[in-house]
């Protein structure tokens, strides 16, 4: 008995431009019918048509599989973009309007004006009137800090006018607009602003400082006496770096602030000069003299050694530090001559 013919077969319409499958082949339970359909499938493959392709709509008329794959690929791309997306550093903003910066000569603090150094010389170094005048600007690290042209140049110095809150250049400044860190190391004969130090301090303990010793303590005078004077001093001076120690003489309105890093002390001295705390006072910020206490000298020496060791540790690769901490590195043996 002959097997029944299948209900539907592939019908291929060949046109000069393209070949389109118009009907789908239905499965047949009969073996003979399946063989006949198999011959037609082979002919379709010879014509270059993929029965499982979703482009012709043969197996997926609604194109659900293709759309689903596109959605999954789009989601994967979005996830990858989110992973690669990093927070960009913001540019430093101008602290003052450049068009409103007045061009005025330096104040007369001496008797003779030196045209080569563009400043006065001779006479008293400290002007009583200027010391009582409040600073025109103040730096706000949270809002003013950002990247400048100096970030791409290794060994750049910090902006002195940025520390005083008066830099009009912003991101176009040739100096750094941020706080100093432990890794910012400069020559002992200059400060973090690139100014040359002297062999000895001035009589009033002002100015750049001396290169004969590392001074991390600044003197703060003319503080308004109040019950929370220690908290006020700590809050205002902690903005400029990590503080190691604060000592306040409540009865005299005087304080001594010691920073962990010398560069932060240099930055804080310029940033808080002639500034006010919570009251309308005008601070007198100077370098502190050497503490005659033997315990203070020992503490300072120990701190300098720890700071030097930390700076060297930061410069070494992490793998070497792990081996060093594990004791895997052995000292090289000396050769016998």
Domain ranges of the chain: 1-57, 98-290
The span from the CA of 3 to the CA of 142, in Å, is 88
C-alpha distances in angstroms, 227 versus 14, 121, 224, 237, 303?
98, 42, 10, 18, 31
Tell whether pTM > 0.85: no
Fold annotation for 98-290: Alpha-Beta Plaits (3.30.70)
Measure the CA angle with vertex 237, ends 140 and 135; round to 5°.
55
Contact assessment for residue 159 and residue 167, using Cβ atoms and an 8 Å cutoff: yes
Give the torsion sign (CA, 219, 220, 221, 224). Answer: negative
- The confidence score (pLDDT) of residue 99 equals 79
Q: What is the pLDDT of residue 289?
A: 92
> What does the pLDDT read at residue 107?
65
10-residue mean pLDDT series, the chain (337 residues): 52 46 44 46 50 49 52 55 59 88 68 77 57 86 94 94 95 96 90 94 91 93 91 95 93 93 96 92 93 84 82 84 72 60
Three-state SS at 225: coil
Please count the CA atoms within 13 angstroms of the CA of 290 that sit on its side-chain side. 11
3-state class of 23 per DSSP? coil
**pLDDT at 299 (0 to 100):** 83
β-bridge mates for residue 20, sequence order: 13
Pair 174, 149: CB distance under 8 Å: yes
**Sheet of strand 284-287, all strands in order from the earlier edge strand to the far edge:** 243-249, 254-259, 217-221, 284-287
């Amino acid at each position: 008995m002959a097997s029944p013919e299948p209900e539907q077969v592939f019908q291929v319409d060949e046109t000069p431009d393209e070949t389109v499958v118009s009907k789908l082949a239905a499965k047949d339970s009969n073996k003979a019918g399946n063989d006949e359909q198999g011959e037609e499938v082979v002919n379709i493959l010879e014509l270059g048509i993929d029965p499982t392709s979703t482009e012709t709509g043969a197996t997926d008329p609604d194109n659900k599989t293709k759309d689903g794959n596109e959605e999954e690929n789009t989601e994967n791309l979005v996830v990858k973009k989110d992973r690669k997306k990093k927070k960009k550093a913001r540019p430093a903003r101008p602290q003052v309007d450049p068009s409103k910066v007045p061009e005025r000569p330096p104040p007369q603090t001496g008797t003779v004006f030196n045209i080569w150094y563009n400043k006065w010389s001779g006479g008293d170094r400290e002007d009583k009137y200027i010391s009582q005048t409040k600073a025109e600007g103040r730096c706000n690290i949270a809002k003013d800090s950002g990247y400048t042209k100096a970030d791409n140049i290794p060994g750049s110095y910090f902006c002195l006018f940025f520390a005083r809150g008066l830099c009009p250049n912003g991101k176009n400044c040739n100096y750094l607009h941020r706080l100093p860190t432990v890794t910012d190391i400069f020559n002992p004969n200059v400060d973090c602003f690139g100014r040359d130090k002297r062999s000895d301090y001035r009589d009033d303990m002002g100015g750049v400082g001396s290169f004969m010793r590392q001074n991390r303590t600044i003197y703060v005078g003319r503080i308004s006496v109040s019950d929370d004077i220690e908290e006020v001093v700590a809050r205002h001076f902690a903005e400029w770096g990590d503080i190691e120690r604060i000592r306040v003489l409540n009865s005299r309105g005087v304080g001594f602030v010691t920073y962990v890093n010398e560069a932060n002390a240099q930055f804080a001295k310029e940033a808080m000069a002639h500034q006010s705390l919570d009251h309308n006072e005008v601070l007198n910020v100077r370098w502190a003299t050497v503490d005659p206490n033997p315990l203070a000298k020992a503490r300072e020496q120990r701190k300098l050694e720890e700071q030097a060791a930390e700076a060297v540790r930061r410069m070494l690769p992490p793998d070497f530090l792990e081996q060093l901490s594990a004791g895997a590195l052995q000292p090289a043996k000396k050769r016998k001559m």
